[in-house]
Structure 1
Amino acid sequence: MSCMIEVRDVSKTFQDKDRTVQALNHINIRIEEGDIYGIIGMSGAGKSTLVRCLNFLEVPTEGSVIVDGQELGALSDRELRQIRGSIGMIFQSFNLLMQKTVLDNILFPLKIQGRGKAESLERARDLLKTVGLADKEKAYPSQLSGGQRQRVAIARAIASDPKILLCDEATSALDPQTTNSILQLLKKINQEMGITIVIITHQMSVVREICHNVAIVEHGSIVEDGSVEEIFTHPKSRAARELVFEGSETSETFAGRHAADRTMEELREKRRIRIVFTSNSSFEPVIGNMVLKFGTPVNILKADTKDVDGVARGEMILGLPDERELQEKMIDYLNARGLAVEEVN
């Protein structure tokens, strides 16, 4: 696949009264054609500034952005408007025209493009079928649920046949069930239309569900990037670890011992490891077999199963026995059975 978006050494500063704010600091990312790429970070990390640099709604202070082979900074205003026509965008707040019907909202970008009325109507109605709202064309946004509004916004964003769809916190205002339905719709659009999708979010669950690759932004810099599976299995940065562990539940420990009965200070004194179950190891009761083999219980401090790009991945945090030699034998045992093992501190 060819590169659809390349960000080269991009920095962005803003002047705020008497001080200069560094929103982005030497960002480098590469997004392949047809990818679903996640950009994740907490509020204020710089991810929304970054996504606005991808279509030059924000012009970088330094560096360059290349979209579909064209460097945006070298384009005329007219050329920049043309390439923006190939980039759709959806937002957390939907940004629909509240005085227009659902159908008219989708027709709006087609009118701007100067398409014929009959062609535009056919296109708009086809898109309403695609997003599951064929019966809502005469409704107004105020009559729709949040999920339905976002579906209209998606239909409007792809009406002009863009090559790229930028999604800036597009599911943040939605409940989990509705979020999942929107993510499945975006996945369908990516697969059937080949649109490259960039997801801006602060939720690792969104990235795990839909993205193939991800960049983690913290304080305006990329602290880690790679495939979602790689970062889920072996998070290297502090920010990645925090995001990966997001939503993990403390569970009962093996052999009837309970992590909830222990203080955090006691837990910190123990050696802890995180294991990730791959497809080859998830069918074997590895922990149970290990306990039987070594005759010593281990604490299951946390356990969870997550969907990582459509594949179920199990993870656990284990508290190991005190004896160092036994700890190493257990880690070797887990490694030998294909589990990813790393220290947790």
Structure 2
Amino acid sequence: MKKNQFIHDSRIKKNAWGVGKAILTYLVMLLLVGIQVGLIVSPLFQNLSDFFRVNLVLLYWVFVTIVFIRITNRQIKHVYDNPMRILSKATKDVASGDFSVYVEPRHTSDKYDYIDVLFIDFNKMVAELGSIETLKNDFVSNVSHEIKTPLAVIQNYTQALQNNSLDELTRNEYMKTIIDATNRLSSLVSNILKLNKIENQEIENIHEPYNLCTQLCECALGFESLWEQKEINLDVDIEDQVTIEYDKDSLELVWNNLISNAIKFTNNKGKIKLSQTSNKNEVIVSIQDTGCGMDIETMKHIFDKFYQGDTSHSIEGNGLGLALAKQIIERADGTISVTSELNKGSTFTVILPL
């Protein structure tokens, strides 16, 4: 945070010590001095001895001091002490795990002071912590479920293989199912580890210049058997060469995920278009398919961990690919977005700055 950034917060509409209070204080002090002058020049005061005159003035200012101290203490208690006690209690509640805490600002938005802004930021922090806690719990729940499913498959089919009366064809099918489950489990653990490393900034980015167009072609060809099997028409429209300087391996994960998703959700004899353009500021890669598409609610959560809008394909993935892709692109200061229409296909667009 920059020095004095909080002091110049535009939300603060009311200063602790404004011009109005300064003028009022000046007038009060002027009044008190005037009272003292009036006391001194009064005939009654003139008839007193010098000892009583001096002590009477001192007693007057002692009285004024006591009144000022009491007023100041009351103001401090009202303006700072009570709000800090409220904030302290709220902080203790949050520390004990209660993320429903809300501290009400003391003034309306047109009269916010520093304490009001502090309360607002505290409420925002608590809301974010509550959201993170929810995500963490959901993540643990989803991980447990995703790991439990393939383990159950492995266990059940392994037990079935113990039946000596199984014919060779059935035995091979069971073994293939076990291998698929172990591959899925391995992929899940691998993606969780990658996602965790990226989120915690533990992956060391190796930035090296390379031709993005070549990488896109190689990624598409890596899925040749899949799109040929589904008789998908793959249309590639990219430039001959665009040199970028990013972590090559991380971006390869992004392209592989987007292409594999397009193939997975596109019906037989459908169409996928891989296009890439660039200018002096950025490079744009889009992957468009004619698959099942998504509704608005699905698009809102498509980059969330473990979210799978089309559960009919859940056995083919674990809902981490797009979350991983988003983390990689955002770490590269780029953006990834999706446009889609139900039953008409989807288009994922990645923009990377040059």
Give TM-score, length-normalised by structure 2: 0.25
Greater helix fraction, Structure 1 or Structure 2: 2
Q: Relative CO higher for 1 or 2, CA cutoff 8 Å, sep ≥ 6?
A: 1
Q: Select the structure of larger CA radius of gyration.
A: 2
